[in-house]
Structure formats: structure tokens, C-alpha cells
Structure 1
């Protein structure tokens, strides 16, 4: 099955509830039924960031493949990088269903999944089986359990476990669906977690770059302390941003469901936070722009706002497996139209 055929089946999947459809999609991907991208990336898309080479700057955000069951098939769709997780030390079921809602009228999704995943042991076992010659960069996204968590113990342990297999590791302190998690974005708590990870990293033979994923709902005066905490503790980059608990005007009947909102309504606020972080960081952190990207023009807008790399999730869930190639080809055309010789040349031009 080619990505175009798989995409044609997407309307049938939308007849199912969102979480059931997502589970079927993951199983189909893991079985290789989504096909393979046969396109070629334009050289203008090659990106160097985090000490890594990306074939293109378009990535899949964490949350789509929580348990790393379909990493290699997802990479074959044309992504420049794939991030799997969030993985927690112990398995947990997450919040009660229903907990995933399509807001089709708004090109959005609300989720309150609650870090449902099979735990670290199975996740690492699947990473061990990834091919050495994988076609894209791999990122591991780590988080803490809802109960019995000790962030200063758990994040370093998670980092050490995935470090042998990941090209970079993201600390998720910004999901709105684990009680108290977003409090860890505060300067003192974040600094304590990063100090603990730094102590563990000093003992490891392999230390992939560390990123922190932040929320779009942070107050402006909270951004500079986060940047400072990251810069002084060896963090290589920030992912801006996670889902939002804000509720802009929405048309869907699911608009009032609790949880994190993603998709088109997140594009403007997350891009504004990205722009502010870029101004504060002044090139000292690699920024990954995520939130509401569905078109090549939106991907370029994130880059021009300060992102060296971008990620998709909700747009991919709606558009299907042909999306990565469409975005890559469209982005290459727009970069050339605007006179940029590389992605890096466009980073922050509108910030």
C-alpha cells in the first residue's frame, strides 16, 4: 500500500471513534501497510541542528506513537525525524475513556490521555530492535507516572535507559493531563530536574542532546527563567509547544471537553510563544516549532519565527501518510521562492 492509497482510506477511519481509529492506524503502520515514501528531499531541506543531520526539518511529534511500536514504518513515510513517547517508568492506563476527541469543524483535537503507555521496559526493548541505518533521526520523549513519581529520580533514570538508542531525548514537563506536571516548568523545579539529569549524564558513555518541551500557556515572565535554566544546565533545545488548556472560539460540539487542545487553533498562540523564546534565547538553543502545522506555509512560518525544526501531529492525524512528502516538497518550493539557500537561512527572519 502506498501513502496515497492509505490516505484515501482516511475518511473510513473517521467513522470510528478517535482513539479506536488511532489504534488501528498504529497497528497498520507497524505492519507496514502505510507504504513507503518514494520521493526525494530537495537539498535545500537538509538541516544541521543538535549536532545531527536531518534529511528535512519535518518531524512527527511525541504522542502519536507512545510506545515506539511503529518508529521504523513512520520514518519510511518521509519524516526527517520521529519522536516516540511519552514513556513513563512504569506502565499506566491513563485516564478513563473517552479521552480523545476530533474537532473536525476546527481542524483540531482535544486529548486527555494521561500518559497512557506500556512503560519503559517494553519501550526500550523496541528501541533495541530499531535498524542502525534508519532513514530519520529518532527522539525519545520521557515523562513521569501519575502516582509514585519522584521527578529528580525518574527523569534521570529514564534518560539513562533511552540514551543508548535515541538521537536526542525530550523531557516532557508540559502535558496538561498529568496532575502537577506543568508545575515542573517553574524555575526551581525545572532546575532541580535538569541538575539531576546532568549528574546522570556525567556518568554515561553516550549522552544524546537534551531538549525540554514547554506549554503554550506560560506567562511571558516565565519564559526567560526557563531559557536561563536550560542554558546553564546543558540543555540543547526547547520544543515549543505542547497542547493548550486555553479555549479560543471553537465550533465543534466537543469544544468544552477537558484536556489539551491541538491543531489549527494552536497555531497562532504557539507561534507567538516560539517567537518570544527565540528573542530570549538569541540563537543559544535549538528551537522546535510545533502546534497547528498542516501546510508548508505554516511550517515555513514556524521556521521564520525561530524554529530550526518543526513537528506535526494533529495535521498528520487528519491528512494521513502522504502528508510528510507534501510538506517537504512544499517547504522546499517556498524556501526557494523566498530566496533562502537553506532552512537555517530562514530561521528567525520574522522574529
Structure 2
């Protein structure tokens, strides 16, 4: 039985950001766990990488790559650290992280707060390369050339990353989402692949859910033409569906349960727009095995969690992974790959 439901009332007495940092401290000090074993049906191959389960941790939790191995030990099939910028930055003023408990949601306007790529590189270089750890890279808020920042991040972090994610989808760095425009995106991806070189890790792209049909078609064309290794759909939304919490009016990106319908629709949109030529990774509003399975059947090869952990606790990834097995079996699928887009 999970202790988290008993601990959650005490954790929720803390400010959201303080609770987040406390959880990282606990994981740093806790004894290392061996990652659990899973049914072979959960194993899947994406971008040349073998994932033990399709259930991963999204960027934003372990920004500075402090505890990737501890997180793998909790049962995540892969962990994405970051977002990391070339230079350290403090992010936006506090408070900047809000729990919307009645809505099972989170609003954040963190602003890529992190200790910079150099410190994270040193931590990742020391770890034994077991388990899949991706590195999410971004641009500094005050950068005069954001494309150059992404190229620098790819070049710097490639030696310690199993994959790299180009994050142009955060709503909390002014002007960042403009890089999703077709010409800017094409130039950015060209620079990223040149910086990575011929033998570097796969490159993924993370996009926002706040896109109109023309944006989706334009992005899809660029990622197909550039042969991007995978597309993560999607980040937080600046839209506001009906919400009950007193924090509903806070600015920033909304994640959690209210994001689920929009994120699922964007996944379907990108599956159609790319014609299944690009592996898709689903994020946004995934809190159960049924949620994850719906994304897989809608075209996702992998899924990522984050906000649901606030409400469900650290055992969620393992519960979702194990819960996928009977769903696959029920529908006659021998593997996750068979169910993708079904």
C-alpha cells in the first residue's frame, strides 16, 4: 500500500516549490533502488533506443540532473532532465508554482530556472550509463541568439545524453514559442543537427498544445523533412478551460487533468499531420494506465508524466506501466508497438 495518500495533506501544507525541492533532497539521500522488472510486452524501441516501459518522466522535475537514477529506481522507463540553459538563470520571481487541488492541476511560470549546463554535465558524466536519461535544452531568457543557445546546448550535452530534447514550447520565456514558426524552426533544427554531428544521440522536439491547424501542418512538414527522431506533444497550455481553484487566474502554463483533452487532440492532430512518419511522445494530463493507453492507441510510442505525481505520488509510473499489461492483453496486442495508433 502506498503511504503517499497519508503524507499528502502534510506535503500540501508546504508551498509547491518548497515541496518540490524537498522531494529532490529526499531522493538524493535515499538508498538507490534497482529499477523494477516489467513484462516483455512493455518494452519498446524508439529512435534506436530500447525502453523497458513506455512510461517516462517529463522534463521540469529534475531540472539540474540531481537524481535521474533514483527516479529510474521508482519505475520510470526513462527520465528527461532539464530544461537546461547554457548559463545558469534564476527564473521568474516567486511565487511561481501553484497547485490547483480542486482541478488536479498545476500552474507554473518557473522560467527555465536551472544551474546551467556545465554543472549538470558534471553530474551526468559521473553516473554509470544504465537506463535511458534524456536531456532537455533551452535558451537563456536574455540571449541575443536563441538558435545559437540551442546549438550550444546540443553540443555541450550530447556526450552525456541518451537523447536530446529541443524545448521551444514553454510559455514562460517571452518569445520562445515564436521558434515554432516554420522558417525559424527549420533553421533551429538545422543548427541543432549540425551541432550534434553524425554520431550524436537522437534529437526530439517538444511543441506546445496552443497551436492552430496551420501551425500544426507547418511544424509537421519541417519535422518530417528534417527527419526529427521524435516529437513530444505537448507542453503546458496558456488556455484556461473552466477551473474551480482560487489559483485559476494565475499566469503561466497549466498542466494536469484539465490539459488532458487538449493534449490528446493535439496528439491526434500531429499523428495525422505527420502521417505516422515521426514517433510521437505524449505528455499532458496522463494520470492512469487508461490515460496512457488512450495516448498509445492515438499514436504515441511513449508517454511522459509530471503533474499527476503531485496528486498520485512517486509510485505512479510503476502502477501505470503494470496497468498497461492487461489493457494490451485485453485487446490482443502482444506489445506496446502493436497498439501504437491502433
Alignment of 1:171-210 (within 5 A): 171-202=166-197, 206-210=199-203
Could you tell me whether the CA contact under 8 Å between 1:58 and 1:311 is conserved in 2?
yes
Out of 285, 291, 294, the position equivalent to 2:284 is: 291
Q: CA deviation at 1:141?
A: 0.1
Q: CA deviation at 1:7?
A: 6.3
Point out where structure 2 has 5 or more consecutive residues left out of the alignment: none
Runs of 4+ residues over 6 Å off in structure 1: none
Could you tell me whether the CA contact under 8 Å between 1:210 and 1:234 is conserved in 2?
no
Look up the SS of the partner of 1:4 in the other structure: coil
Alignment of 1:78-117 (within 5 A): 78-117=75-114
Look up the SS of the partner of 1:176 in the other structure: coil
* Pairs aligned (count): 342
Q: CA deviation at 1:9?
A: 2.6
What RMSD, in angstroms, separates the aligned Cα atoms of the two structures?
Answer: 1.5
Could you tell me whether the CA contact under 8 Å between 2:209 and 2:237 is conserved in 1?
yes
Look up the SS of the partner of 1:164 in the other structure: helix
Alignment of 1:138-177 (within 5 A): 138-177=133-172
Find the aligned partners of 2:308 and 2:78 in 1 and give their Cα distance.
16
1:57 aligns with 2:54: yes
Equivalent residue, structure 1, for 2:275? 282
Could you tell me whether the CA contact under 8 Å between 1:4 and 1:321 is conserved in 2?
no
Find the aligned partners of 2:4 and 2:14 in 1 and give their Cα distance.
16
1:241 aligns with 2:241: no
Out of 15, 26, 29, the position equivalent to 1:28 is: 26
Could you tell me whether the CA contact under 8 Å between 1:198 and 1:233 is conserved in 2?
no
Find the aligned partners of 1:62 and 1:198 in 2 and give their Cα distance.
21
Report the TM-score, using the length of structure 2 for normalisation: 0.97
The structure-2 alpha-carbon separation of the partners of 1:55 and 1:8, relative to structure 1 and needing over 3 Å to count, comes to farther
Equivalent residue, structure 2, for 1:11? 9
Find the aligned partners of 1:111 and 1:143 in 2 and give their Cα distance.
17
Find the aligned partners of 1:82 and 1:331 in 2 and give their Cα distance.
19
Look up the SS of the partner of 1:308 in the other structure: strand
Find the aligned partners of 2:274 and 2:231 in 1 and give their Cα distance.
10
Find the aligned partners of 1:154 and 1:123 in 2 and give their Cα distance.
16
Q: CA deviation at 1:199?
A: 2.0
Out of 256, 259, 271, the position equivalent to 1:263 is: 256
Report the TM-score, using the length of structure 1 for normalisation: 0.94
